[in-house]
């Protein structure tokens, strides 16, 4: 793999990628926190917005308190009789996710840039983060558009597989009856999703690493990344490992928090803080994966040059 | 790599698909039940005016029944009868132009009729006293689900007539309670069935409505002797008791069933079914409860058996003892449950079907079984006209079902007791049901007169149950239970009407119920309670300018300070059509409470309550015990000062989920 002399430089495989992740985390903890603060602010704004909408509708109705305490009938009443309120809540959630997605193009670009350039000082890191995020923002946006057919394919595969096993799901009698059909419905789509997700990640890496030197075209980068990921299962294993840890952290929190109801406004704040800890941990996993991807991305063959740049520039 | 992927895909698909039942095997010849058709024998419970002898053969490949039938009909009225009308229900499924298909827009209960799986019934011969009359049989009412037979000689009052039929019945692919699915056959509404003479003596008329998607059935009681011939690999279950089972030529066997004082006969044939049974104890003996199920549904069958035994015991104790020795509960295969499930016949019912999602503790399967078993009282014994007064069996049964479920599974968790969630059946029904005030048709409307099936179902099942629960709580549960028991005992094995029900209730409860019955059952609307205003102010002597001239005084805050007590005013409204007494609980800042009662029967649509207390009012709660099931309680409990902590907690949870989604789409 790799047509350049430096393509396999120092990279033995998964262990090196994980090591790069850990190094990236320990070295750029502040950057991680900075990105996390942005996310937390959006989440907090989302929480405040939702709280205002819900309080406007329900602060005088103890039935809502019962619903939040988990009384099923109260939940049904509240949801059925305040649909507009819950549509508004859904709108806030949707807006938060869209906002984050838009911000994430900049933040991911900044993170990849820092992890690629490895600046030394805090100021240098900030400059590098901002410069890389700004430089790659539109390229990432175009990449998102280029990825749309892939997501459509994922949905199509999911729909087709689900359609094939729908009668089995509909007529299942035992949980064990569900395993096969659900696996058939979800596994191919999830595998494809993971594949295309990884392709997008490596396309971002490429756009970040080669932006200054080669100014690669987005579509060409996407297609080259598709081939790269297809030829290097390591990329999928590495990314998959990240998702496994992401899932484990989420499940562990759900398990530990089960049956620990928190009441009142203090409870709400405690919950928010505890969940921010979990979110921080999961973001650290993401950043570690990104660092590993940068490490492997350096080994890829250089793209065709579209811009004037030093011939040996690799990062 | 590619080969491995193909192998994995093929194995996955194989794992995902196919549950094989194996090859049908010849079953041991069943032993006759050996019990009389009525527990303890005894005198007929009904007039037995429409009795049938049927000899039927099922072709399991063509899903077709060929049969001969002799109807013995007694004219119990005081006017002569020169024409007999017959229901030919299966013709409802003959094509898309039938009344049933048009009124249901090709579907029922959310399921479409299978294209190509049409069902029909053809009368090949009909004879009276040896004379062939098939050519005179004519469809009536513009639909082929009713046919009339002019008689050569009128049947005088008290007279009897035998009518001999030969007919062929093609079962539809299972739909609207009857039909086949694979090798499963649920056979209902399958034979020519005579209508019912109703009305005042001497002026009787036939009730024989065409089959509409909303209408069910109405028939006279009688004795049924039915011989069913099927392949010897098939298990059969049917109305009544098995009187004999004999081997027949061609690898078939004939099951002969006998039933007394029933008004319908249905049966099931399937090569894979097993049977489990239990005993229900009733005041004068026991009833055998059988569940017929496929092996994969065994765990569900246990649940249905428990619910069936409990339902027989409760309904028997609260109303009339179950008179027959056996009840059979058919648990249809999952792919047939939508079509065949959730149906009642005398001594035989079908469950609502089984699904993995109905986990133990989610009691919908039990509820449907209790409901269908309950129909053996409300329609099985109290044989009201379902086409004209569907609420009288469906709604009354729904009301009773909630009580049975609460008694069997505990009041708090009779509907749901799963993963920490609990809910009572009545409360759940109220929460998920349509607001009764929004229904454009009153409860007491003919089933075919509803604007659509949704309104029919909401009014007939849900609103009726809620209205009865409201009345029950208003007059007192114990008194109401006694009155309902009196109604069932007075009208068992007869054809009661809504008027009969309310006459008995009024008599037993000792009050004229018109104030409730008319708006709740005969008019549109419900109970629409609301808190229009709730506020407190500190009390002080009057301030201002008083008197004129020398006596003119000005009273200021200093002269008339606040006394420290509060005047609280609460205005309650009921803009609905139904007015029932309502309790109102007032909670004050010191934690004390005070109950006031607003009995607005004939007293307007609003009431103002003024209370003076040493602490301010903090909460108003209308109908705190949820007695008024006809009302929608979302805003019944009102906190004067807002508290946003629950909103904040909910928002914290939602934002946490949102953040998880954000982390999936971004870093």
Q: What ipTM was estimated for this complex?
A: 0.90
B667 part of contact set with chain A, CB < 8 Å: yes
Residue A262 pLDDT: 64
d(CA B467, nearest CA chain A) in Å: 19
CA-based nearest distance B237→chain A, Å: 23
**Chain segment B328-385, per-residue pLDDT in tens:** 999 999 999 999 999 999 999 999 999 999 999 999 999 999 999 999 999 999 999 9
8 A C-beta contact, residue B515 and residue B601: yes
Helix boundaries (H) for B192-257: none
- Give residue B129's region: left, alpha or beta (phi > 0; psi -120 to 50): left
Q: Are A110 and A38 in contact (CB under 8 A)?
A: no
- Which among A96, A62, A59 has a CA at the least distance from the CA of A77? A62
What residues of chain B, 427 to 446, have a C-beta less than 8 Å from chain A?
Answer: 427-428, 430-432
Tell me if B181 sits within 8 A of B165, measured CB to CB: no
pLDDT band at B5 (very low <50, low <70, confident <90, very high): low
Please give the residue of chain B at the shortest CA–CA distance from A284.
Answer: B667
- The bridge status of strand B285-293 relative to strand B326-330 is parallel
The predicted structure's pLDDT at residue A6: 39
- Whether the CA torsion B154, B158, B159, B165 is positive or negative: it is positive
Query: What is the reported pLDDT for A194?
Result: 96
Q: What is the pLDDT of residue B141?
A: 78
Q: What is the pLDDT of residues B490-503, one digit of tens each?
A: 999 999 999 999 99
Residues from chain A that touch B425, judged by Cβ atoms under 8 A, are none
Of B580, B636, B584, which is closest to residue B611 (Cα–Cα)?
Answer: B584
pLDDT at residue A263, rounded to an integer: 64
Paired tokens of B385: 């006209």
Out of A52, A64, A180, the one facing B15 most closely (by C-beta) is A180
Cβ of A72 and B647 within 8 Å?
no
Average pLDDT, stretch B178-198? Answer: 97
Residues B157-175 have a mean pLDDT of: 97
pLDDT of residue B389: 97
| pLDDT (0 to 100) of residue A7 | 41
Q: Does B651 contact A269 at a Cβ distance shorter than 8 Å?
A: no
Tell me, yes or no, if B533 comes closer than 8 A to chain A by beta carbon. Answer: no
From B368, B311, B317, B373, select the one nearest B348 (Cα to Cα): B373
* Tens-place pLDDT, residues B447-484: 999 999 999 999 999 999 999 999 999 999 999 999 99
Considering only residues A282 and B16, tell me which one the structure prediction assigns the higher pLDDT: A282
Enumerate the residues of chain B whose CB falls inside 8 A of the CB of residue A39.
659, 662-663, 666
Question: Which pLDDT score is estimated for A9?
Answer: 44
In B212-266 the beta strands, taken as DSSP E runs, fall at 222-231, 235-238, 241-248, 252-262
Report the pLDDT value the prediction gives residue B432, as an integer from 0 to 100.
Answer: 94
pLDDT under 50: residue ranges of chain A: 1-11, 309, 311-315
Helix (H) or strand (E) holding A49: helix A29-58
Q: Is the pLDDT of residue B282 over 50?
A: yes
Put simply, the answer to whether B423 touches A173 (Cβ < 8 Å) is no
Tens-digit pLDDT profile for residues B81-117: 999 999 999 999 999 999 999 998 888 877 888 888 9
Distance CA B366, CA B304 (A): 6
Distance from CA of B456 to the nearest CA of A (A): 21
pLDDT of B13 reads: 53
Give A50's contacts in chain B (Cβ within 8 Å): 647, 650-651, 654-655
Give the mean model confidence (pLDDT) for residues B47-75.
98
pLDDT given at position B584: 98
Question: How many angstroms separate the CA atoms of A107 and A103, rounded?
Answer: 6
pTM of structure: 0.91
Q: Which residues, 6 or more positions from B6, have their beta carbon under 8 angstroms from its beta carbon? A: none
* B635/A61 Cβ within 8 A: yes
More confident residue, B544 or B667: B544
The pLDDT of B590-598, averaged and rounded, is 96
Provide the Cα torsion B95, B100, B102, B106; round to 10°: -70
pLDDT of residue A5: 36
Q: How far is B181 from chain A (nearest CA, A)?
A: 13
Token code pair at residue B20? 């094989």
pLDDT reading at B317 higher than 80 = yes
Percent of chain B with pLDDT over 70: 97
Would you say residue B4 has pLDDT above 70?
Answer: no
What is the per-residue pLDDT across B595-617, written as a single tens digit (0 to 9) for each?
999 998 866 899 999 999 999 99
The gap from C-alpha B640 to its chain's centroid, in whole angstroms, comes to: 40
Residues 231-250 of A with CB under 8 A from B: 246, 250
Q: Which residues does chain B have within 8 Å of residue A187's beta carbon, measured at their own beta carbons?
A: 12
Picking from B600, B537, B611, B613, the residue whose alpha carbon sits closest to that of residue B572 is B600
Mean of all residue pLDDT scores within chain B: 94
């Amino acid at each position: 793999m790799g047509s350049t002399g430096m393509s396999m430089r120092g990279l033995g495989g998964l262990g090196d990628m994980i090591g790069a992740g850990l190094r990236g985390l320990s070295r750029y903890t502040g950057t991680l926190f900075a990105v996390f603060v942005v996310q937390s602010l959006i989440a907090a704004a989302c929480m405040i917005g939702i709280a205002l909408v819900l309080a406007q509708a329900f602060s005088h109705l103890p039935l809502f308190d019962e619903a939040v305490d988990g009384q099923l009938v109260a939940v049904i009443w509240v949801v059925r009789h305040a649909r507009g309120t819950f549509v508004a809540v859904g709108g806030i959630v949707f807006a938060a996710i869209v906002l984050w997605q838009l911000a994430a193009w900049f933040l991911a670009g900044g993170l990849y840039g820092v992890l690629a350039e490895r600046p030394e000082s805090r100021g240098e890191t900030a400059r590098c983060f901002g410069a890389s995020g700004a430089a790659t923002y539109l390229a990432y946006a175009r990449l998102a558009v280029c990825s749309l057919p892939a997501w459509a394919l994922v949905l199509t595969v999911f729909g087709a597989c689900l359609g094939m096993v729908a009668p089995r799901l509909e007529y299942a009698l035992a949980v064990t009856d569900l395993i096969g059909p659900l696996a058939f419905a979800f596994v191919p789509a999830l595998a494809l999703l993971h594949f295309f997700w990884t392709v997008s990640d490596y396309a971002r890496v490429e756009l970040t690493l080669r932006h200054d030197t080669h100014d690669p075209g987005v579509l060409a980068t996407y297609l080259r990344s598709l081939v790269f990921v297809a030829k290097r299962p390591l990329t999928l294993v590495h990314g998959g490992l990240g998702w496994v840890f992401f899932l484990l952290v989420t499940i562990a929190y759900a398990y530990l928090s089960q049956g620990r109801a928190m009441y009142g406004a203090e409870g709400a704040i405690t919950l928010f803080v505890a969940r921010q800890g979990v979110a921080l941990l999961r973001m650290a996993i993401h950043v570690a994966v990104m660092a590993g991807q940068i490490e492997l991305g350096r080994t890829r063959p250089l793209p065709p040059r579209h811009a004037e740049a030093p011939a040996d520039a690799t990062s | 790599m590619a080969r491995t992927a193909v192998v994995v895909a093929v194995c996955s698909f194989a794992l995902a698909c196919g549950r094989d039942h194996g090859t049908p095997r010849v079953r041991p010849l069943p032993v006759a039940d050996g019990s009389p058709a009525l527990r303890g024998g005894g005198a007929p419970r009904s007039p037995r005016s429409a009795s049938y002898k049927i000899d039927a053969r099922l072709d399991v490949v063509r899903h077709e029944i060929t049969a001969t039938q002799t109807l013995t009909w007694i004219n119990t009225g005081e006017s002569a009868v020169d024409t007999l009308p017959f229901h030919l229900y299966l013709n409802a499924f003959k094509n898309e132009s039938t009344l049933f298909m048009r009124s249901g827009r090709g579907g029922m209960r959310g399921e479409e009729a299978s294209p190509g799986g049409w069902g029909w019934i053809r009368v090949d011969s009909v004879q009276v006293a040896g004379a062939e009359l098939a050519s005179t049989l004519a469809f009536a009412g513009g639909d082929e689900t009713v046919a009339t037979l002019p008689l050569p000689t009128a049947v005088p009052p008290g007279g009897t007539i035998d009518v001999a039929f030969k007919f062929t019945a093609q079962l539809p692919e299972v739909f609207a309670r009857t039909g086949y699915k694979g090798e499963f056959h649920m056979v209902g509404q399958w034979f020519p069935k005579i209508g019912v003479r109703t009305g005042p003596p001497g002026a009787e008329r036939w009730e024989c409505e065409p089959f509409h998607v909303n209408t069910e059935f109405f028939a006279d009681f009688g004795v049924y002797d039915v011989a069913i011939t099927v392949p010897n690999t098939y298990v059969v279950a049917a109305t009544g008791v098995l009187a004999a089972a004999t081997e027949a030529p061609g690898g078939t066997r004939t099951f002969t069933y006998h039933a007394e004082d029933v008004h319908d006969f249905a049966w099931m044939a399937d090569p894979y079914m097993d049977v489990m049974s239990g005993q229900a104890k009733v005041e004068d003996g026991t009833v055998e409860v059988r569940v017929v199920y496929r092996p994969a549904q065994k765990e569900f069958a246990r649940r249905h058996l428990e619910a069936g035994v409990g339902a027989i015991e409760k309904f028997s104790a609260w109303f009339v003892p179950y008179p027959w020795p056996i009840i059979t509960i058919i648990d249809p295969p999952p792919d047939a449950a939508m079509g065949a499930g959730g149906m009642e016949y005398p001594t035989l019912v079908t469950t609502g079907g089984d699904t993995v999602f109905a986990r133990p503790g989610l009691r919908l399967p039990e509820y449907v079984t209790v409901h269908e078993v309950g129909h053996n009282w409300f329609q099985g014994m109290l044989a009201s006209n379902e086409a004209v007064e569907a609420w009288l069996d469906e709604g009354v049964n729904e009301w009773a079902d909630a009580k049975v479920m609460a008694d069997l599974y505990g009041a708090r968790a009779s509907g749901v007791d799963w993963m920490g969630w609990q809910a009572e059946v009545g409360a759940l029904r109220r929460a998920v049901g349509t607001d009764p005030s929004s229904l454009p048709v009153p409860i007491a409307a003919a089933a075919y007169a509803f604007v659509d099936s949704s309104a029919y179902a909401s009014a007939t099942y849900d609103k009726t149950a809620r209205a009865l629960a409201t009345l029950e709580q208003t007059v007192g549960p114990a008194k109401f239970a006694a009155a309902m028991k009196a109604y069932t005992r007075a009208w068992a094995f007869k054809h009661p009407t809504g008027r009969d029900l309310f006459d008995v209730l009024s008599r037993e409860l000792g009050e004229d119920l018109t104030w409730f019955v008319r708006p709740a059952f005969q008019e549109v609307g419900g109970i629409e309670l609301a808190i229009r205003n709730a506020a407190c102010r500190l009390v002080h002597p009057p301030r201002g300018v008083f008197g004129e001239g020398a006596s003119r005084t000005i009273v200021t805050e200093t002269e008339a300070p606040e006394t420290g007590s509060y005047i609280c005013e609460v205005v309650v409204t009921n803009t609905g059509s139904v007015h029932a007494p309502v309790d109102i609980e007032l909670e004050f800042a010191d934690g004390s409470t005070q109950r006031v009662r607003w009995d607005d029967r004939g007293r307007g649509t609003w009431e103002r309550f003024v209370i003076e207390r040493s602490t301010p009012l903090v909460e108003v709660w209308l109908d705190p015990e949820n007695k008024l099931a006809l009302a929608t309680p979302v805003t019944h409990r009102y906190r004067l000062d807002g508290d946003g902590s629950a909103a904040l907690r909910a928002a914290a949870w939602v934002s946490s989920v949102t953040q998880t989604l954000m982390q999936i789409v971004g870093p």
